Structures are given as C-alpha cells and as structure tokens.
C-alpha cells in the first residue's frame, strides 16, 4: 500500500491468479514529482500465453507513468503503442488525479471503475466495450437478454484504442475510486460488489483484498484472474 501525503491519497492493490494459467492481470500506481498527479493503471491481458503475461506489467507501468505526467489519454494510448500487431492484446482502465482531488478516467475494454461518495449508491463510471454490453443497451426495455456469453467479444482494446474510441469521464473528488478486472465484477453481482465497497470503505487495502477474495469460480470450477485497485481520500 502506498500513501501520497501531498494530495492526501491512499492507494491499494490486490490480485489473485485464476485457474487458466499465469496471472495476466497487472496494476501500477505512480505519482509524478513534477506534476504531483497520481495515476492508477489496471490492465487485463487477453489470454495467458507467456507474451501477454510478460507484457501486461509493462502496459500498466507505461500507462501510469506517462499518464501521471501527460494525462490519462496520453497514458492509455502510450500503453497501446507497446501492443504490436500481430501479438497479444489487453484491455485497461487508467485514472489520473487532478490538483483539486478530482480525476480523469479513460478506458478501453471491460475493466471497470466505480465511485462511492459516502452515500447510499455506488456509481459505475465505465461502460464495458463488449458485445454483451452493447446488446444489453440496445435491448433496454425489451426484457432481459441472455448475452453473458458474449462478454468475451471485446470491441475496443489497448491495441485498437485511438482518441475517438478511448472513453473518458471525469471523477469527482472525495470518497473512493475502485478499479476492477472482469474476474471480479463478472463473478459477483452489482449489489454484492456495492455492499462490499460500502462495508469495507475504511481501509483501502482491506477493500482491495476483500474484492479479490469475493471473486467466485464459474460453473465448471474455472476462475479468472482477479485484480482491484482502490484510491481512498484520507
């Protein structure tokens, strides 16, 4: 766990390997001495082959270090430049704090970000870039559509991201910012995830550890890599 006193932020990371091979998730946090900005990068490599397992930490570190100096979009796109074609790819989310404590958030793929301001509701800031999310939005109001199996069809990755497709939101200052890979948010429902955030908000590390531990195995016992980053305003 790392504490950044100048902007009164606490960051925490937790990760657990799944059952399909070496952990292809990666997380990095970095505070620039020149800008004072803190960046949190979460990357989920696609697959588990040696190339992506080796590349994922470099993607996260690049996104965080460039993002803290040049801004969130520059950080995300710089990480994407490390993804060669053909070769392994990944999805990711990057948050970079501003001087007033707010943050800018960009993402490509289906890593997620949640914000809790201390009230009753936890707000999901991101929208998954996959076919499941697209069809669910398209069918809104027409009843539930069984599209869970389509979640693996990702439409935007780090390797494909450009300024027009890397989504962006502004995050208000205060409360908690939580970043998760799909090994967490695809294995527990929204209500449980929100309850865990509200219940364990007092300790950033405890919350990160709890979210990772809560990730469940699938029907056949398989379990995806699960990683969380928590940003807490101290």
On the question of pLDDT at 131 being above 70, the answer is no
CA–centroid distance for 39 within its chain: 12
Task: Output the domain CATH number for residue 168.
Answer: 3.60.40.10
On the question of pLDDT at 8 being above 90, the answer is no
Per-residue pLDDT of 144-159, as tens digits, reads: 445 555 455 566 889 9
Give the chain's domain count.
Answer: 1
Is there a domain that residue 133 lies in? no
Is there a domain that residue 164 lies in? yes
Average pLDDT, the chain: 88
Helix, coil or strand: residue 90: strand
* More confident of the two residues 54 and 8: 54
Q: Which domain holds residue 9?
A: 2-124+155-233
Per-residue pLDDT of 65-108, as tens digits, reads: 999 999 999 999 999 999 977 789 999 999 999 988 899 999 99
Task: Name, in order, each residue with C-beta under 8 angstroms of 169's C-beta and a sequence gap of 6 or more.
Answer: 104, 105, 113, 125, 126
pLDDT for 133 equals: 59
Is there a domain that residue 147 lies in? no
Neighbouring C-beta atoms of residue 115, cutoff 10 Å: 22
Is there a domain that residue 44 lies in? yes
Is there a domain that residue 135 lies in? no
On the question of pLDDT at 5 being above 50, the answer is no
Is there a domain that residue 132 lies in? no
CA dihedral 209, 212, 216, 218 (to 10 degrees): -160
On the question of pLDDT at 125 being above 80, the answer is yes
Q: How confident is the model over 117-133, as a mean pLDDT?
A: 83
On the question of pLDDT at 40 being above 80, the answer is yes
Q: What is the rounded radius of gyration, in angstroms, for the C-alpha atoms of the chain?
A: 17
Is there a domain that residue 18 lies in? yes
Is there a domain that residue 149 lies in? no
Per-residue pLDDT of 166-208, as tens digits, reads: 999 999 999 999 999 999 999 999 999 999 999 999 999 999 9
Per-residue pLDDT of 200-228, as tens digits, reads: 999 999 999 999 999 998 878 889 999 99
pTM: predicted TM-score of the whole model, two decimal places: 0.89
Cα–Cα distances in Å, from 227 out to 17, 25, 42, 111, 112?
A: 9, 7, 8, 10, 11
Q: How buried is 123 (Cβ within 10 angstroms: 0-12 exposed, 13-18 middle, 19+ buried)?
A: middle
pLDDT for 147 equals: 53
């Amino acid at each position: 766990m790392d504490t950044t006193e100048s902007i009164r932020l606490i960051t925490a990371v937790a990760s657990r390997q799944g059952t399909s091979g070496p952990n292809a998730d990666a997380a990095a946090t970095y505070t620039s001495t020149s800008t004072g900005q803190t960046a949190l990068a979460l990357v989920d490599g696609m697959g588990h082959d040696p190339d992506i397992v080796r590349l994922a930490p470099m993607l996260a570190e690049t996104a965080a270090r460039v993002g803290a100096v040049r801004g969130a979009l520059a950080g995300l796109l710089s990480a994407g430049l490390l993804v060669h074609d053909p070769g392994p790819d990944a999805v990711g989310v990057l948050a970079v704090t501003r001087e007033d404590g707010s943050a800018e958030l960009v993402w490509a793929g289906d890593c997620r970000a949640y914000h809790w301001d201390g009230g009753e509701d936890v707000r999901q800031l991101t929208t998954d870039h996959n076919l499941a999310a697209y069809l669910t939005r398209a069918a809104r109001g027409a009843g539930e559509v069984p599209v869970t199996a389509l979640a693996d069809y990702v439409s935007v990755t780090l390797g494909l991201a450009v300024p027009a497709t890397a989504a962006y939101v502004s995050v208000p200052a205060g409360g908690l910012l939580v970043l998760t890979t799909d090994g967490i948010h695809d294995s527990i429902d929204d209500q449980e995830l929100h309850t865990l955030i509200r219940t364990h908000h007092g300790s950033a590390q405890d919350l990160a550890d709890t979210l990772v531990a809560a990730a469940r195995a699938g029907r056949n016992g398989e379990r995806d890599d699960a990683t969380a980053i928590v940003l807490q305003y101290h």
